[in-house]
């Protein structure tokens, strides 16, 4: 083992939405930061995903990595181990959670629990997060939008021309579509923002040391068990031990609990900070269904996500429980989730050559229906013989089904309107649910709470049982909103940066 001589103010593990943002922010505040990232810089052609290749290559499946599902079968997770983590392949839609998302909310199937924070605690950090990530959007259109202290600094980018008449057609049906807020850069080759660009590169490179290809294996505690003293990582084939006054794990909702479970010792026999037995439990993964509509004219199949609809977020005319969020998917050839999820598309792509896929893409309009799930301790990440195992069954299913059927009814009404020319009437709408391998939206496995007997970290992300250990990623979510988790992860990281830098 090689023991690093240097002692850093903070070691951050993982460079995704949480870790990349935190490492950059802390370095700018004058702290010496070591960032340990198991991946490396992603080649531009891999980031630039608008291609039929997206469907053919196992591009976003780490090589040689298999996790095991509830039935014990192995599967290849869709996750990005790279500088920037999953933000290198995300849709870059950065939405705030709604005020009510932070409080206890009855769902169709049980309760969505309250956070120890309120929306107003996070609002200033949402504003900073939007500014840091150059989020382009327009406030005041979506009726569910939470109160904002400032509008977006940048107006939405123009959407594909054929989507404008579709927006008007939806308005005719009483919907209130809005331009979904998206993180954009000025780079024409890779315009969508990510945490490498807006987190790490925005940091102070004199104070920020980045080690790629550094897979953290476990943490070592001091004799009292109250502090982490060593971070053990495999770096290019060697085992290293690093030392920091503060250690922050931001390896994502699956790998963060894995590192802590693997670090069990005499003081923490069930894993570090697992006195509550909640470490790895309460795994939540947004329910995601894609729905295809037939376009009457060709489109490029290569464009970003564009419109959002929250008219059913808190329910509809028939039910008073939340149903969720709808958004246009990116073009079928641009959206990494498609390559993975809708069985209908995967089947097509396996059976027919490029031309067929191009044609399918250019003649479709794709939508995502997204519904929250509630935390369930039986849904968990655990280790068996050091292999990652995922026990997971979606709950809140009826709410999601209702959202899907509600949306298909809306699409049918749009198609039946003689004024609408951009989409065709279809007897059925192909749809597909995201399978277990789509883990990008996972959260909840190290839940945040004031009570150490039922949570893993406190409201700042500090582990209950280890004073200098924090978590800064989607694993701390006590509940899972129906909008994407990205902006909330970034806002929490900025809040933690302030906390760790305060005297
Ligand atoms: C295809 C796709 C599309 C998405 N679209 C959106 C969207 O439009 N909007 C939205 O809000 N969310 C979206 N998401 C979800 C979003 O990307 C995640 O919620 C967010 O990235 C979570 O941030 P994180 O910091 O928790 O983890 P991640 O961003 O996953 O980062 C974890 C980091 O830790 C590193 N790591 C893991 N294990 C170790 C280890 N042992 N040692 C060292 N480093 C390690 C990883 O390489 C990675 O860099 C999408 C996800 C995917 C996959």
Domains of the chain: 2-501 (3.50.50.60)
Whether 189 shows a pLDDT value over 90: the answer reads no
State which of 86, 303, 436 you would mutate to test the pocket of ligand 1, scoring each by most atoms of that ligand within 8 A of its C-beta: 86
pLDDT classification of 188: cutoffs 50, 70, 90: confident
Confidence at residue 496, expressed as pLDDT on a 0 to 100 scale:
98
pLDDT for 357 beyond 80 = no
The overall average pLDDT reported for the chain is 91
Q: Identify the pLDDT of residue 297.
A: 83
Residue 429 pLDDT class (50, 70, 90 cuts) = confident
Among 40, 97, 251, say which to mutate for ligand 1: greatest number of ligand atoms within 8 Å of CB. Answer: 251
- Taking the CA of residue 60 as centre, how many other CA atoms within 13 Å lie in the half-sphere pointing to its CB? 28
Would you state the pLDDT for residue 51?
57
Q: Is the pLDDT of residue 405 over 90?
A: yes
Ligand 1 atom 21: residue of nearest CA: 86
pLDDT single digits (tens) 226-241: 999 999 999 999 999 9
Q: Which residue has the higher pLDDT, 503 or 450?
A: 450
- CB of 31 closer than 8 Å to CB of 9: yes
CA–CA separation, 340 and 361 (whole Å) = 15
Residue predicted with more confidence, 230 or 354 = 230
Angle between the 119-132 and 486-501 helix axes, to the nearest 10 degrees? 100
d(CA 143, CA 185): 27
Among 287-301, 311-325, 348-362, 420-434, the range scoring the smallest mean pLDDT is 348-362
Average pLDDT (173-196) is 93
**In the structure, which protein residues have their CB atom closer than 6 angstroms to any atom of ligand 1?**
13-19, 36-39, 78, 81, 85-87, 89-94, 215-216, 250-253, 255, 259, 336-337, 440-441, 473-474, 484-486, 489
- How remote is the CA of residue 295 from the centroid of ligand 1, in Å? 32
C-alpha distances out from residue 280 to 252, 259, 342, 394, 447, Å: 12, 10, 27, 16, 9
The residue whose C-alpha atom lies closest to atom 49 belonging to ligand 1 is 85
Listed in sequence order, the residues at least 6 apart from 109 whose beta carbon sits closer than 8 Å to its beta carbon are 374, 395, 396, 397, 398, 399
Residues 6+ apart with CB under 8 A from 93: 180, 181, 182, 305, 308, 327, 483, 484, 486
How far, in Å, CA of 148 to CA of 107, rounded?
Answer: 26
Which range, of 230-244, 258-272, 324-338, averages the lowest pLDDT? 324-338
Report pTM: 0.95
Q: What is the pLDDT of residues 56-114, one digit of tens each?
A: 556 677 878 899 999 999 998 988 899 999 999 898 999 999 999 999 999 999 999 99
Query: Looking at ligand 1, which atom is closest to the CA of residue 214?
Result: 43
Over residues 400-421, mean pLDDT: 95
Task: Report the pLDDT value the prediction gives residue 78, as an integer from 0 to 100.
Answer: 85
Residue nearest (by alpha carbon) to ligand 1 atom 2: 90
* Minimum mean pLDDT range among 69-78, 261-270, 399-408: 69-78
Q: Kindly tell me if the per-residue pLDDT of 355 is higher than 70.
A: no
């Amino acid at each position: 083992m090689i023991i690093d001589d240097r002692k850093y103010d903070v070691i951050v593990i993982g460079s995704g939405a949480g870790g990349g943002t935190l490492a950059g922010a802390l370095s700018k505040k004058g702290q010496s930061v070591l960032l340990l990232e198991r991946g490396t810089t992603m080649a531009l052609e891999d980031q630039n995903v608008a291609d039929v290749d997206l469907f053919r290559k196992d591009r976003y499946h780490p090589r040689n990595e298999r996790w095991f599902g509830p039935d014990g079968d192995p599967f290849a997770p869709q996750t990005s181990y790279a500088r920037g983590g999953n933000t290198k392949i995300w849709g870059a839609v950065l939405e705030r959670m709604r005020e009510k998302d932070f409080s206890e909310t009855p769902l169709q199937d049980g309760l969505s629990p309250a956070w120890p924070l309120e929306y107003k605690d996070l609002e200033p950090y949402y504003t900073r997060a939007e500014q840091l990530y150059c989020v382009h959007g327009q406030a005041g259109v979506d009726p569910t939008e939470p109160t904002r202290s400032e509008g977006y600094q940048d107006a939405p980018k123009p959407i594909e021309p054929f989507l404008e008449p579709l927006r008007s057609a939806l308005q005719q049906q009483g919907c209130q579509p809005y331009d979904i807020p998206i993180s954009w850069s000025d780079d024409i080759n890779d315009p969508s923002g990510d945490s490498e660009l807006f987190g790490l590169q925005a940091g102070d490179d004199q104070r920020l040391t980045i080690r790629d290809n550094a897979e953290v294996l476990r943490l070592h505690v001091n004799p009292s068990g109250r502090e982490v003293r060593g971070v053990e990582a495999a770096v290019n084939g060697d085992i290293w031990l690093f030392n920091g006054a503060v250690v922050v794990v931001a390896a994502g909702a699956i790998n963060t609990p894995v590192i802590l479970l693997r670090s069990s010792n005499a003081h923490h026999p069930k894993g570090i900070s697992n006195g509550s037995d909640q470490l790895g439990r309460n795994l939540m993964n947004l329910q995601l269904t894609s729905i295809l509509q037939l376009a009457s004219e060709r489109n490029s199949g290569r464009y970003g996500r564009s419109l959002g609809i929250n008219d059913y977020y808190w329910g509809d005319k028939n039910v008073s429980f939340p149903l969720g969020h709808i958004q246009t998917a990116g073009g079928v050839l641009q959206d990494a989730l498609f390559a993975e999820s809708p069985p209908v598309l995967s089947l097509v792509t396996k059976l027919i050559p490029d031309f067929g896929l191009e044609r399918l893409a250019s003649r479709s309009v794709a939508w995502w229906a997204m519904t929250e799930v509630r935390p369930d301790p039986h849904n968990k990440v655990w280790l068996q013989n050091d292999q990652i195992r995922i026990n997971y069954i979606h709950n809140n299913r009826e709410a999601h089904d209702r959202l899907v059927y509600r949306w298909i009814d809306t699409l049918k009404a749009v198609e039946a309107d003689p004024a609408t020319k951009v989409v065709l009437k279809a007897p059925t709408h192909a749809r597909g649910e995201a399978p277990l391998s789509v883990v990008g939206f996972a959260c909840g496995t190290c839940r945040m709470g004031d009570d150490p007997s039922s949570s893993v970290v406190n409201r700042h992300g500090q582990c209950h049982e280890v004073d200098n250990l924090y978590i800064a990623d989607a694993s701390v979510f006590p509940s899972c909103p129906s909008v994407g988790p990205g902006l909330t992860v970034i806002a929490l990281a900025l809040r933690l940066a302030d906390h760790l830098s305060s005297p």
